[in-house]
A and B are shown apart, each in its own frame.
Chain A
Amino acid sequence: MSASSTALSHQFEDAEQQREAVTLGLWTFLLTEVMLFGGLFAGYTAYRAAYPEAFILGSGQLDVMLVGVNTAILICSSLTMALAVRSAQLGKRQALIVFLVLTMLFGSAFLGIKAVEYSHKFREHLVPGPGFRFASPHAGQVQLFFSFYFALTATHGVHMIVGLGLLGVLVYQAKKGRFTPAYNSPVDLSGLYWHFVDIVWIFLYPLLYLLGRH
């Protein structure tokens, strides 16, 4: 968002108006994100309703344990992010930096494990396209499942990478002492974004990994 310095931007009357505006701006942005993922979820839902067996077959190929651990890591990153926001509000600069770096580490670990998971799928010929191999009469529809698996997790992954970039900027700014108890909306808003991306994953995990496992 536009507020990257403590100075009041010229178009605002006071700091309160600026803070309210950037907050509303981020919530509005998250609304568009809901609709973006919503479109992808709608496609997923249509095909899952049409081909439930194929989707269970496809889901069975995924590594629940590995990704369960990954989900736990992501939830930890949300915790450290929340602690970072709290530290910024209290003006604890050192704690803010530590929690931001921890959040980045958890986020990177998540993406690392995701990369391992993707490489497994390549080796198992489960990547949709000409190289897709799956011995089943439902192979075509399983390929549809994997199309959505990659579309959804990759879109989520891109959001994670953007989030890591934001956190990197925050660490740099925090080191320069930019944030005070009176001015910390960049931390607050990046936190909001980070939690949103985590929540998307909370929906993705059961929808992709836990089909037919009850």
Chain B
Amino acid sequence: MIATAPAPTAVEPREHYLNAGYGVKSWLLTTDHKRIALLYLASITLFFVLGGAFAVLVRLELVTPEGDLMRSETYNKMFAMHGLIMVFFFLIPSIPAVLGNFLLPIMIGARDLAFPRLNLASWYVYTLGGLFTLGAATTGGVDTGWTFYTPYSSTYSNGAVIATAIGVFIVGFSSILTGLNFIVTIHKMRAPGLTWFRLPLFVWAHYATSLVIMLGTPVLTAAILLVGIERMFGIGIFDPALGGDPVLFQHLFWFYSHPAVYIMILPSMGVISELIACFSRKRIFGYNLIAFSSLAIAALGFLVWGHHMFVSGQSVYAGIVFSFLSFFVAIPSAIKVFNWIATLYKGSVSYDTPMLYAMGFIGLFTIGGLTGLFLSTLAIDVHVHDTYFVVAHFHYIMVGGAMMGYLGGIHFWWPKISGRLYPEGWGRFSALVIFVGFNLTFFPQFILGYLGMPRRYHVYPEEFQVLNVMSSAGATILGVGYLIPLIYLVWSMRYGPRAEANPWGAKGLEWETASPPPKENFEQTPVVTEEAYNYARESESDVSKLNRAISSV
């Protein structure tokens, strides 16, 4: 067992991080990682709703083959803002800045992150970047897509490209600050006895994510800097008229933005490892392999960016190498999936809300990952490049994968974060609604793409209408599915039954402390004496209990 102070059950109001201060100042000037996590939670939820609103408009336009709701320029802005907001202001900060921020120090038995003030600064930087982008959205928006490809973003730009680019530039620094904090914290702040191979896999996943953030984000910064110089001073670094090369921008952009996909999915994989182990009541299968596969994904993720550029005019030989390396990334991802399934095998599986999301993740991520193999095959990619097949593929990874993991994690740790239980029945119901809505939205898009419907057009041939209406109908269901948790989670903060320290009977230091945790996380620094996911002992005792029961009969 883990030697630490037993969590007191709340008899009278116990002091914890939520009631340690009530004023606006106690939130806006806090350096407590748990409160900063909640600040992030509120901000990214806001951006999620906003990004979702743009998606609603896109799906609404696509109900009919004609462009009857908006002109093509407006439509371009809608999908560009949807992508920008969802990628940079929701998905990238989602799990690290909310769950990672809240849990990482508690999981390793520390009082806080290594640099609490830097942590608060990262939220302010995020907010500043968000304001720039909101300003851009309201004063013209951008029609470049989230990728800022030149010359859309330079010579032919006709929107608030600079303001938006500055927003993305700024928000990059906030993820750098978070990543730096995590790396140092994991290296230097672990509790006595917590060796690297006793760390929860959630922590390993965040370590790998932070490495990607540290190595990738600055290159995006450099790329935006060059585009910014080009726009502001009227010079042509990527302008073919001077001998400049737009493809260079794509190289710099994807050098960050492909690894950014792993910034979004790796933390989610970390969440899934926790959920699968807890709800199978079993030690995770292949701990070391899962831990190292996170690092392998982080490393390989930097060698595959060229698969976004198979038709950009890059050398065919480079394309072949990138194609080959992209197949490689599938290996560590598959290792994770197989280990999760092996963990389920002969586990005593229960289907609480977080587990439903975890199951959803495994299925949807597998589909997203396998269609990724189609796309990294050079010849097939040339056929389906820039079609809805690509759109469906990355939504299976980012929404079916990253978003499912995020929601599963939020539900799993909600009792710890809020000190309250959410209504389980509503939780399971909305998880199913989201699963159904998601598949109805995005599965038809695979077919649309394969039949040849290009992305980023607001009109399409009539024979595609049935599939598009299905997709829009699914999006409606998906939207309702997202609204339900938003309502009952907020409701539960006030009216939910109080949670005990460990409502799931889960392993891990975060369950050893009270819900919600005290300001300093633990009454005294815990000492760790066992491996992570030591569920084995309990099930053994269950077996012996069962044996005793049988023998008594």
Contact = CB atoms under 8 A, between A and B. Distances in A.
Interface of A: 1-2, 9-13, 17, 20-22, 24-25, 28-29, 31-40, 42-43, 46-47, 50-51, 54, 128-130, 132, 140-141, 143-144, 147-148, 150-151, 155
B527 to A, nearest CB: 13
B363 interface: no
A99 to B, nearest CB: 28
B180 interface: yes
Contacts of A42: 219, 251-252
Given A39-B223, A129-B233, A129-B234, A21 B243 contact: no
Given A38-B219, A39-B222, A2 B117 contact: yes
A17 to B, nearest CB: 6
A147 to B, nearest CB: 5
Given A2-B118, A17-B188, A130-B234, A32 B180 contact: yes
A36 B218 contact: yes
Contacts of B237: 43, 144, 147-148, 151
23 contacts: A1-B118, A2-B117, A11-B110, A11-B111, A11-B112, A11-B114, A21-B187, A25-B180, A31-B215, A32-B214, A32-B218, A35-B219, A39-B218, A39-B221, A40-B226, A46-B248, A46-B251, A47-B245, A47-B248, A132-B235, A143-B242, A144-B242, A151-B229
A32 B256 CA distance: 12
Contacts of A51: 243
Nearest to B117: A2
Query: Main SS of the interface on chain A?
Result: helix
8 nearest A-B residue pairs (beta carbon): A39-B222, A140-B242, A36-B218, A35-B218, A128-B235, A11-B112, A39-B219, A21-B188
Interface of B: 105, 110-118, 176, 180-181, 183-185, 187-189, 214-219, 221-223, 225-226, 229-230, 233-237, 241-245, 248, 251-252, 255, 520, 525
B184 A28 contact: yes
Contacts of A21: 114-115, 184-185, 187-189
Nearest to B105: A11
A94 B115 CA distance: 31
A25 B115 contact: yes
Given A2-B118, A20-B188, A151-B229, 17 more contacts: A1-B115, A25-B114, A25-B184, A29-B180, A31-B215, A35-B215, A37-B222, A38-B219, A39-B219, A39-B252, A40-B222, A40-B225, A43-B248, A129-B235, A140-B242, A147-B235, A147-B237
B184 A24 contact: yes
Contacts of A36: 218-219, 221-222
A143 B223 CA distance: 18
Contacts of B252: 39, 42-43
B235 A140 contact: no
Contacts of A54: 243
Contacts of B225: 40, 151, 155
A196 B359 CA distance: 48
A38 B216 CA distance: 11
Contacts of B113: 11
Given A130-B234, A140-B242, A24 B188 contact: yes
A25 B237 CA distance: 34
A150 B226 CA distance: 11
B222 A140 contact: no
B178 to A, nearest CB: 12
B241 to A, nearest CB: 7
Nearest to B33: A11
Contacts of B223: 39
A12 B217 CA distance: 28
A33 B214 CA distance: 9
B243 A50 contact: yes
Nearest to A54: B243
A135 B282 CA distance: 75
Contacts of B520: 10
Most B CB contacts (10 A, CB to CB) among A13, A39, A42 go to A39
A144 B230 CA distance: 11
B245 A46 contact: yes
A194 B463 CA distance: 64
A42 B220 CA distance: 12
B234 A33 contact: no
A11 B118 CA distance: 13
